[in-house]
Amino acid sequence: MSAERPLVPPGLGLAAAVVSVSVAAPLFRLAEAPPLTASFWRLAFAVLLLLPFTASSWRHWGRYDRRAWGITVASGVALGLHFALWVTSLFYTTVAASVSLVTLQAVFVALGGHLLLGDRLSPRGWLGVLLATLGAFVIAAADGRLAPDSGRALFGDLLAVLGGVASAAYMLIGRRLRATRGLVEYVTPVYAVAAATVLLSMGMLGQPVATGLGSDAFVVFVLLAAVPMLGGHTLANWCFRYLPAHTVATWILLEPVGAALLAWPLLGEVPSIWVAAGGALVLVGAAQTVRRGPARGARDVMAAD
């Protein structure tokens, strides 16, 4: 952590980051656009908003070798798949269920680090994996029994889980790159590749790029790029300079709570008691998998939404 005193209290910045990432799911639903279309424009506008800040990044990009670009592209493809899967899930199941299940990304990061990178899980971490998995089963069981269209809801739940897997892959692939590259230097090409991945998916599935979209939709797309993607994640990364990584990562796990609370008045979605209970188990379990102290994997457990 830095010893310098920031102009804004880090705790206030962290609270703003949590609120910022929490608005993503409700905004996607309010856009009233096909899910891949909304995902593409969110990423595309994020890249456009970042371009004015890339002056010092161009010389670094010019020094990348084939391996560096390959890892960057792999990270962007994983992020694009995350958005394609997770945002689509929002149109099949509730915001509370979708955002709770995609939070399993923290568990997948911990398991991936344990199996692939030598970041051994402690007994507390394994307990977290068990609790989060149990919570996912509770949400799926609730949607299977209580949802008006159970098959549709379960399909959305599955897409959210797969979106969490893709998000974990994005974090695991990029963890070492983020340690050696500046924030704008890293995220700008990754977001660009993610946008291209979603655009390719749109072509394969026949979803329109802009056909039938009104100006209101593009206002929401710009808000998605500016608030949850740049505001939320940029603030979270800024907070890492002043607060312990596990503190930031654990607080960002409150995103499902904020998203569910916002979906209540904005979308009229009241979570069932079982979805709320399952979501609580996922959050508690995910929080247990966040490494404490200076462990190198801690900062990677952060929402990718």
Half-sphere exposure of 98 (CA within 13 A, CB side): 30
* pLDDT attached to residue 155: 94
Q: How would DSSP label each residue in 38-85?
A: HHHHHHHHHHHHHGGG-TTTHHHHTT--HHHHHHHHHHHHHHHHHHHH
Give the pLDDT mean for 4-32. 86
What is the C-alpha separation between 285 and 282, in angstroms, rounded? 5
pLDDT at 60 over 80: yes
Query: In which band, very low, low, confident or very high, does the pLDDT at 205 lie, cut at 50, 70 and 90?
Result: confident
More confident residue, 14 or 66: 66
Judged against a pLDDT cut of 90, whether residue 232 lies above it is answered with: no
**pLDDT tens digits, 135-179:** 888 888 887 776 677 788 899 999 999 999 998 898 888 777 777
Per-residue pLDDT, averaged over 68-73, amounts to 94
pTM: 0.84
Q: Which pLDDT value is given to residue 298? A: 41
CA separation for the pair 239, 248 (Å, rounded): 7
